[in-house]
């Protein structure tokens, strides 16, 4: 896995490390992956049924399209990569391949 992290230890790319992730990062990622698309689905379903007076099949199809569109928007939003320094994971220590159960390549 490749990601940007705050490096206070002085490791090189390719080194095995132990990371610490901020708690609120998981909330933000979870909302982007599940909450935003679910909200897009239900809002579009409601709007199509009530405002546009579409039938159930057309409304369901529009809701699925809105969900797909929301996933596309989330995939183009690079909040994790270009977040502030306090959003980035922190490298706690350099670890050997044996500690992580990984093989060196």
For residue 99, the model assigns a pLDDT of 57
- The predicted-structure confidence for 35-93, as pLDDT tens digits, reads as follows 999 999 999 999 999 999 999 999 999 999 999 999 999 888 865 455 566 677 888 88
- Which CA distances in Å does 26 have to 39, 48, 62? 18, 32, 29
> Domain locations in the chain?
17-79+86-95
Q: Where are the beta strands (DSSP E) in 1-105?
A: 17-20, 90-94
Q: Which SS3 state, helix, strand or coil, does residue 58 take?
A: helix
For residue 88, the model assigns a pLDDT of 77
User: Which ranges constitute the DSSP H helices of 2-50?
Assistant: 23-30, 36-46
CB-count burial class (<10 Å; 0-12, 13-18, 19+) for 48: buried
Judge whether residue 30 has pLDDT over 70.
yes
Judge whether residue 94 has pLDDT over 60.
yes
Q: For residue 99, what is the enclosing H or E element?
A: helix 97-100
Judge whether residue 33 has pLDDT over 70.
yes
């Amino acid at each position: 896995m490749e990601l940007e992290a705050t490096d206070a230890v002085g490791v090189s790319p390719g080194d095995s490390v132990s990371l610490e992730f901020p708690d609120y990062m998981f909330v933000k990622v979870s909302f982007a992956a599940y909450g935003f698309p679910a909200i897009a689905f239900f809002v579009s379903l409601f709007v199509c049924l009530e405002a546009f007076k579409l039938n159930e099949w057309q409304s369901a199809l529009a809701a699925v399209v809105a969900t797909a569109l929301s996933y596309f928007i989330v995939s183009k939003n690079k909040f994790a990569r270009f977040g502030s320094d306090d959003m980035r994971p922190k490298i706690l220590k350099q670890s050997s391949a044996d500690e992580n159960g990984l093989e060196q390549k």
